[in-house]
């Protein structure tokens, strides 16, 4: 059984790896999601579907992650199988508090640093993690512009884990990039 709240969320984005699937219709995404779910289970890692409650339920994912423009958590939660994780992206203290109140299992906060993936977002910075940590009862996940060079700052600011796209999907060796990030997370926790 995978650790359901991982230290490192690798958001697969074919745009970062020279492709694009986020806009695909459900029927085209289904076979890909089924293959990914199978690979994640075989590897013992959590599989969370981004934005798409229907697809997450259909492929028996471990959870779904919703943005501010997706279904609200109060509407999505009853649609999920028992035990499925529900994560929510937030960009302010108010949104993070609302996500926790709506029974999110984890709250992603960002953008922590500038990022090409989500241009136009106002920076939340590590300060928002520091401000939220004392009042959050659910895991906080830092997202946005996180690399092996700055992940320690994110963990020390109060994040329980981080989510990345380009740092892994855009790397020449994604496995080595993942290992560097995990090593840096462990080192930050040990310091």
Mean pLDDT of 6-24: 71
Cα(111)–Cα(162) distance, integer angstroms:
11
Mean pLDDT of 3-21: 70
Return the sign of the alpha-carbon dihedral for residues 31, 42, 83, 13.
negative
pLDDT at 26: 80
pLDDT at 29: 87
Mean pLDDT of 142-156: 96
23: number of Cβ within 10 Å: 7
pLDDT at 27: 86
| Residues of the chain above pLDDT 90, percent | 78
pLDDT at 4: 63
Q: Examine the pLDDT at 111 and tell me if it is beyond 90.
A: yes
pTM of the model: 0.90
């Amino acid at each position: 059984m995978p650790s359901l709240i991982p230290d490192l969320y690798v958001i697969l984005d074919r745009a970062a790896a020279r492709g694009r699937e986020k806009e695909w219709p459900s029927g085209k995404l289904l076979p890909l999601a089924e293959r990914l779910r199978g690979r994640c289970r075989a590897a013992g890692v959590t599989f969370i579907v981004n934005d798409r409650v229907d697809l997450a339920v259909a492929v028996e994912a471990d959870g779904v992650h919703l943005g501010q423009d997706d279904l609200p958590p109060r509407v999505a939660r009853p649609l999920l199988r028992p035990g499925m994780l529900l994560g929510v992206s937030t960009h302010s203290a108010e949104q993070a508090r609302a996500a926790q109140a709506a029974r999110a299992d984890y709250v992603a906060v960002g953008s922590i640093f500038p990022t090409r993936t989500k241009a136009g977002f106002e920076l939340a910075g590590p300060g928002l993690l520091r401000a939220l940590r004392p009042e959050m009862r659910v895991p906080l996940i830092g997202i946005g512009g996180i690399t092996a060079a700055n992940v320690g700052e994110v963990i020390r600011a109060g994040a329980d884990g981080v989510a990345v796209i380009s740092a892994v999907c855009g790397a020449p060796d994604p496995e080595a990039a993942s290992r560097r990030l995990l090593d840096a997370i462990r080192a930050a926790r040990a310091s």
